[in-house]
Structure formats: C-alpha cells, structure tokens
Structure 1
Amino acid sequence: IHLLPTPTPHRSLEMEDLAGAIRDLAALSTRLLLQLSGDGEKRNLAISPLSIHSVVVLLAAGATGDTLDQIVSFLGLSGGAAHAALASEVATLVFGRDAGVEPHIRCAVGVWVESSLRLRPAYADKVASEFKAAVRAMPFRENVEEARVEINRWFEDKTEGFIKDLMPEGHLDATLTALVIGNLLYMRGTWLDPFDPEYTLDGDFFLADADGSRVRVPFMKSTNDQCISCHPGFKVLQLHYESKVGAGGNHRFSMHIYLPDERDGLQALLREISSSGTAEFVARCVPAARGVEVGNLRIPKFKVSSKMDARDVLQGLGLELPFRFTHDWSEMIELAEPEPPLRVQNVLHECVVEVDEDGTMAAAATEADCDVGFSLYGEEPARVDFVADHPFLFLLRDADFYSSG
C-alpha cells in the first residue's frame, strides 16, 4: 500500500524539494522490497513504505548528531527538511479531505510517552502541528499491558479492524519503555469499472518455483477495454478507483499491476525498477488514458497480509545507529539528570491488502518504541492479454499529487 505521488517539475524551490523527496521515497520502496524478497523465503508480501517513512521522519525530528545524520542519509539525497515537509504534506492532504470524498483514505500519527516523563516542548509542538500527531501520556511503568492494549486498540479502531494486536503481549517493557511512535494508513476504494462477480472463476496461479507449482485461486474477469502498457519483459495494468471530489479530494487514485512475461520474472523486474530509478520508471510506464482492447483479462481476487519486525530490514539497509544506546535523542524527551541514553528497541510493521470485484481495502501500521538505557525507576498494442496467474507487483498511486504549480 503505497500512495505513490508523481514527481513533476515545479517552479518553486520548495516544490522541487518535495519532488526530490518523493523520488527518494519511491527508491526506498524498491530497496525495502529487494531486501525483504532477497531472504529466500517464498511468501506473499505487502508493505507500506509510506507508513515506515512517516515513523522514520518522526524519529528524525527528535534526533541529533550522528544518529540524525544517518537517518537523513537513509531517507535520501533530498535531505531531512524535504522529507519532513513531505510527511507533513501527506498528513495535511489526508486530514483536509471531506468525509464523502472517494476513495476513503485515513492517516493517523500517535505519540505515547511514559506518564512520568515529558516530551521536549519543541518536539511535542512539531509532531502535533506539522505531522498532526496525537500526543498522549501512557502509564507504561504502572500498567504496561493496559497501555499496550490501548495503543493496539487505537490502531484497530482507525483501520476499521484490519490491524489487530499489532504489538504482541510482552512487547513493551514496564521498566524500559519510554516512548512509542505510531503511524497508520487506511484506504477503501471502489473500482471505477467494477468486475462482475458472476464471471469470477477459480484457476491456476503459478508460483515462482522450478517445479511449476500452482495453487487454485478465484480470478476476476473483464472484457472491457483496459489501460495497459506493454514493455520489454512485462506489462502494466492500471485500474482506476472511483473518485468523488470534495475538499482535499482532487486526486485520482489507481492500482498499477506490473506483470512479468516470465512466471519467475518478478525478482528481475524489481532489480530493473531499482536500477532505472523507481519514480522515473513508474512515471515512464503509466498506461495511456485511452483503453486498449483486451483479449483475456484475469486478475486474482486476493487478500495479502504481512507482519514483520522491520528493525532487521532497516538495519540491513544501513540504518543502524537509532538502534544503539545514545544521547542523540536529547531533543525528543526530557529525562532526569544525568540523562540516560535512549535507543529504538523495535519497529513493527503490518500491512493488509484485500482486492475483490468491488475494489480495494488496505491498511498499514508502523510502530517504533524507544527504551532508556536503564530502568525507568531511576507505451499500447491493438489487443492485449493480461493474465496475472503468476507473481506480480502492485502499487497504489496518486496521479495528481504535486501535479500543479
């Protein structure tokens, strides 16, 4: 689930910086996918780089020194200020949407601090005003399990029940947990051209195995013209969501499905996307608005769910210092003198995407908790087939984000 904006030229320096941050975020998306898919484990995978990005940016807002420098380097060449502006722009965009705007999109940010401690006023003001974060005191020391359940309920309620029990029992430590930072995204979109359930039939989906393994899954079918672009080695299908415009709703969202020609071609496609520059690759492969005649169109009806400890993934991509005890978090939280060091202990990430004949429902959540260093007690052909019966890549894209100016 990635509401991937389109980077386009803008006159003002600020908008150029935002476009650069968007390109960085697109590149981060591919880096995360390559890191996760390179472990040899065969599984369906759903992630939200946008949710992870939000939490990393909130961490950067309270970091200093080498830790801040490494976070900014990890985010990309545009710099920390550009990424903070991007995260703020996304939050403002989502919060500015009317209730009746379609697709329905929700973004929320939460910061929970141990009730006996205080956030630095500048940090508290920044996360609330720029990132629309709800800041709350939480009795981690007195009742850590009650605090965990309450935070989990926040994620569950705001994702319409898609994200449940993000943090497992025992995840937080009554004596060490000082702070929890969370982000969630939720989307409910209806296809502009829905599929007819009467034509949904089971068929073989081929796995990326040498022995040609397959599983039976329901396939949605359509004979209507479709937005498809064909490229050497792969095709791209664009499925538009219904759009009801209101305040904050002048955005066109769509799902893009990248289908390799070869059944085992997904990993090679990911590498091509990465080497070409993710944002540029995506923009270059957007199908033309005029639909093409379709011969055979089959898209699996599916629900994909992934939950992971993203700490190892982030460390594998070079983000290491935030997970070591350091005093570089002094701009985030007030601690008694002599101030103990802090570190990010865990980064949990969960993403759920459900696609059916009507549309898409998706949710993602990311949580980072910080521990103190000691106990707190001190381009189209004439006709195209598009049969997604083997591994493919999909993303959710906003065609109009930053397209004016």
Structure 2
Amino acid sequence: MTFPKNWKGKFQARPGNARLSINNWVETTTHQMIKDLLPAGTVDTNTDLVLVNAAYFKGMWESRFNPDLTQKEIFYVSPSKQITVDMMHMEGTFKHDVSETLGAHILELPYKGDNISMFIMLPPFSNTESSIDTTLKNLNLDTFKSVVENDNLISKKVQVALPKFSLETTIELTPILESMGVGGLFAGDADFSWLTPKKISVDATVHKARIDINEKGAQAAAATAILTFRMSTDEEDEPPIQFTCNHPFAYIIYNKMSHTVLFVGVLKNPASVK
C-alpha cells in the first residue's frame, strides 16, 4: 500500500480515519472479500507505521458443478453429530490417489488455465474423530509435494460430492511467528533500520483470510471412504470412484507452475463458517 508523505500525521491527528482508509484499501484490493482488517483500537496516536499486504484469487472450475444437482445432504461433523449442508455433485475424470503417508484420499480439482488446482485430502470415515487429526499431523509441504509433484495422481472417473461453504478467519500472528523463531520482531531492541531511520517496534500482527466455494469455483470456502491400494484394472470396466466429502477434510489451493501454496484450510463444520 502506498502512503502519503504526511501519513504519520494522520495517525497522530486522526487515527480512526487512518484505520478506515487502510481497511478501505484492503477491501477494494480484495474485491470486497476482506472487510475490516484492522478492528477499532488497533490504530491510535502511538502508531507510526502500518505495513499492509493483500492478495486476491478468483478461480473458475475447469469443470463446473451443475447447480441443479446441488441438494441438502448430511455432513458428519463427528460420528455423533450431523448437520445438513448444500452438497454439490459432479462426475468427471479427475486425478486421484490414495496416500498412505497422509492417511487420506487425494483429489485434484483444477481451475481454468490448468496452472492452479484445489487438492482435497479426505481421510476415511471412522467411528472416531481422529481421522482428520492424523492427516493434519502428517501434512506438511514436503509430504504434500511428494504426492502432487511426482505423478502419483492418476486420472480416473470420479463422482464428486463437495459441500458449498464460505470460510473467514482472523488470526493474531504474534504467537505463531514466535513459535517459528522470529519472535525477535517484537523485541524492544529489534532493528528496523532497513525499513525506516526512526526507532520503531512491532506491537501486533493480524492476518485475515476468506474463501468461498460454490458451483462456479473458488473466490480467495453416509458413504464411507476406505483407504485401498491402487489396483491395475481396465478403466472402462472400473466403476466411478465415490469421493464424498461428507466429513472433515483438508484442502490446498496450489500453483503447480510456481510450486506455491496459495491457500490452505480445514473444513470441520460447514455450519460454523457460513
């Protein structure tokens, strides 16, 4: 974000207006997806500098879900708790695999352009709540790339059922950055001379993300899945794989050209994120 030369004066004289200006810039940059990034009180007369960055992604499915097939179905938040969601349906040829490392089925849903895809990691449905936790425990950038970048995914006929959802999360990044070993940013003697000649300190960091998943694509949102070994069969005689996301799963939006993760999330309860 580009600030006027007298921005520091705006912080001291009208911190509320400065905060609203920043929030308006973020909202405009993200096409109204991210609103009110900085809550009231986060900018005051002691503020000298605010660093803001915003990213926006809008992807259209390469193969869209037919809205006429979307219907109310059960989503198992846990083996003992069920809710009703709008479940989208589609049948097509998609890349799929079973990862024993992650303990989950993997499905690639590409966006138009063939560079960016959503990868869904669906653990088996079980009588316990630990399936998704096991997958998340084993999921990191290395294990993910070992699945999606080594031609492990094979094109198969798949019947996909995926809930519509909208997810928005606000995170205070300070404890996360401290756990990553960069807590020195918040120390009183931190050196920011590369950024400004004035003595400043970092008081807080805020991250806000939102994703909408619907029949058209993503805007940056009981059948049993059983882990099986891949078998060599005649694809013409093989029935479609049932990939039914009716229980908690993880998802990653990934740029295959730049090998970068654009968005990562876990859907445990669609009703709680609308």
Corresponding residue SS for 1:270: helix
Distance (whole Å) between structure 1 residues aligned to residue 157 and residue 57 of structure 2 = 30
In the other structure, the counterpart of 1:252 is: 115
1:283 maps onto 2:136 in alignment = no
Corresponding residue SS for 1:225: strand
Give the number of equivalent residue pairs.
241
The residue type equivalent to 1:151 in the other structure is I
1:292 maps onto 2:165 in alignment = no
Distance (whole Å) between structure 1 residues aligned to residue 189 and residue 43 of structure 2 = 20
In the other structure, the counterpart of 1:185 is: 55
In the other structure, the counterpart of 1:325 is: 188
More displaced stretch, 351-360 vs 315-324: 315-324
Distance (whole Å) between structure 2 residues aligned to residue 392 and residue 402 of structure 1 = 22
In the other structure, the counterpart of 1:169 is: 40
Distance (whole Å) between structure 2 residues aligned to residue 157 and residue 230 of structure 1 = 41
Encode CA deviations 1:92-139: one digit per residue, 9 max, x unaligned.
xxxxxxxxxxxxxxxxxx265883xxxxxxxxxxxxxxxxxxxx7662
In the other structure, the counterpart of 1:353 is: 211
Aligned-pair distance for 1:272? Answer: 1.5
Distance (whole Å) between structure 1 residues aligned to residue 9 and residue 61 of structure 2 = 41
Aligned 1:94-243 pairs, distance under 5 A: 110=1, 112=3, 115=6, 139-174=10-45, 176-207=46-77, 209=78, 212-232=80-100, 233-243=103-113
Pair 206,280 (structure 1): closer, same or farther in 2 beyond 3 Å? same
The residue type equivalent to 1:323 in the other structure is F
Distance (whole Å) between structure 2 residues aligned to residue 285 and residue 173 of structure 1 = 52
The residue type equivalent to 2:116 in the other structure is F
Asked if the contact 1:217–1:300 (Cα under 8 Å) also holds between the matched residues in 2, the reply is yes
Aligned-pair distance for 1:280? Answer: 3.2
Pair 275,298 (structure 1): closer, same or farther in 2 beyond 3 Å? closer
Distance (whole Å) between structure 1 residues aligned to residue 5 and residue 133 of structure 2 = 43
Pair 286,256 (structure 1): closer, same or farther in 2 beyond 3 Å? farther
Distance (whole Å) between structure 2 residues aligned to residue 320 and residue 283 of structure 1 = 33
Asked if the contact 1:354–1:362 (Cα under 8 Å) also holds between the matched residues in 2, the reply is yes
Asked if the contact 1:189–1:241 (Cα under 8 Å) also holds between the matched residues in 2, the reply is yes
Aligned 1:295-374 pairs, distance under 5 A: 296-335=159-198, 340=199, 342-362=200-220
Distance (whole Å) between structure 1 residues aligned to residue 259 and residue 68 of structure 2 = 39
Distance (whole Å) between structure 2 residues aligned to residue 226 and residue 275 of structure 1 = 22
Asked if the contact 2:184–2:190 (Cα under 8 Å) also holds between the matched residues in 1, the reply is no
Aligned-pair distance for 1:349? Answer: 0.7
Corresponding residue SS for 1:292: strand
Asked if the contact 1:140–1:173 (Cα under 8 Å) also holds between the matched residues in 2, the reply is yes
Gaps of 5+ in 1: 1-109, 116-135, 244-250, 364-378
Asked if the contact 2:74–2:84 (Cα under 8 Å) also holds between the matched residues in 1, the reply is yes
Corresponding residue SS for 1:269: helix
Pair 141,325 (structure 1): closer, same or farther in 2 beyond 3 Å? same
Asked if the contact 1:191–1:239 (Cα under 8 Å) also holds between the matched residues in 2, the reply is yes
Distance (whole Å) between structure 2 residues aligned to residue 280 and residue 138 of structure 1 = 51
Asked if the contact 1:112–1:138 (Cα under 8 Å) also holds between the matched residues in 2, the reply is no
The residue type equivalent to 2:72 in the other structure is D
Aligned-pair distance for 1:297? Answer: 2.3
The residue type equivalent to 1:267 in the other structure is D
Taking structure 2 as the reference length, what is the TM-score of the superposition?
0.79
Pair 348,138 (structure 1): closer, same or farther in 2 beyond 3 Å? farther
- Structure with more relative contact order (C-alpha pairs < 8 Å, separation 6 or more): 1
Distance (whole Å) between structure 1 residues aligned to residue 108 and residue 156 of structure 2 = 11
The residue type equivalent to 1:143 in the other structure is R
Corresponding residue SS for 1:172: coil
Aligned-pair distance for 1:206? Answer: 1.0
Corresponding residue SS for 2:43: coil
In the other structure, the counterpart of 2:257 is: 400
Distance (whole Å) between structure 1 residues aligned to residue 212 and residue 151 of structure 2 = 24
Asked if the contact 2:8–2:48 (Cα under 8 Å) also holds between the matched residues in 1, the reply is no
Corresponding residue SS for 1:331: coil
Distance (whole Å) between structure 1 residues aligned to residue 178 and residue 74 of structure 2 = 37
Q: Share of identical aligned residues, percent? A: 24
Pair 297,191 (structure 1): closer, same or farther in 2 beyond 3 Å? same
Corresponding residue SS for 2:174: helix
Aligned-pair distance for 1:317? Answer: 3.1
The residue type equivalent to 1:203 in the other structure is E
